[in-house]
Amino acid sequence: MGLVGEFEEACKLNSPVVPSQNLGSVWKAPDAGAYKLNTDANFSVQQLLGVGGVLRDADGSVLMAYCSTLRGSYGVDLGEAIAMRQSLGIALEVGFRNFMLETDNIKLFHHMKKGIIIPNDFGNVIRDILRLVSQCFSCSFSFVKRFGNGVAHGLANLSSNFSEYRAWLEEYPSEIHGEVCNDLDLLMNE
């Protein structure tokens, strides 16, 4: 028993301390002058990919909301990347140029943050996103857990209600009002 205890102590001393990464579980507002674009994807059994995106300012006000559907079978990572590409494209068309891009997909976050482009469909979409990012004045990447991405998730789920893409400026569909208010309540209580 004494040898086991000595072994465990030696392992503790020799193992490197790995700092825990603080991954957000609630939506946080961007810095003043920047805009946070949250994106998400929804996968249905009818071979439809629903995508959603919401752009908000430092006060948490919704400046743009977007959703659409695509036919086909997509993997989770590819679907999440497509949601980011489409939402970013719309936000750029509207005229926004200072972004924090936020997703609840850790693989997408890491590939975007490190600029990793792999030779497949996912990598091709990452390349497209990085090309769009090059049109921005400033852009950073952020990860949030699913709970903190509720508005974009709601938009992705809502997308199947429409036959073509929808975009709202300075408003959003009433179906996601609860998620928007939830984020604002959490923001006010910080």
In a domain, 6, yes or no: no
- In this structure, what CATH number is given to the domain that contains residue 157? 3.30.420.10
State the Cα–Cα distance between residues 52 and 38, nearest whole angstrom: 8
In a domain, 51, yes or no: yes
In a domain, 12, yes or no: no
In a domain, 86, yes or no: yes
Sequence-separated (6 or more) residues with CB below 8 Å from residue 95: none
In a domain, 47, yes or no: yes
* DSSP letter (8 states) at residue 134: T
Please count the structural domains in the chain. 1
Can you give the pLDDT at residue 160? 87
pLDDT tens-place string over residues 52-72: 999 999 999 999 999 999 998
In a domain, 127, yes or no: yes
pTM to 2 decimals?
A: 0.85
In a domain, 16, yes or no: no
pLDDT tens-place string over residues 3-55: 544 545 555 444 333 333 445 688 999 998 899 999 999 998 788 999 999 99
Closest Cα to residue 118, out of 83, 86, 75? 75
In a domain, 116, yes or no: yes
Enclosing domain of residue 169: 24-185
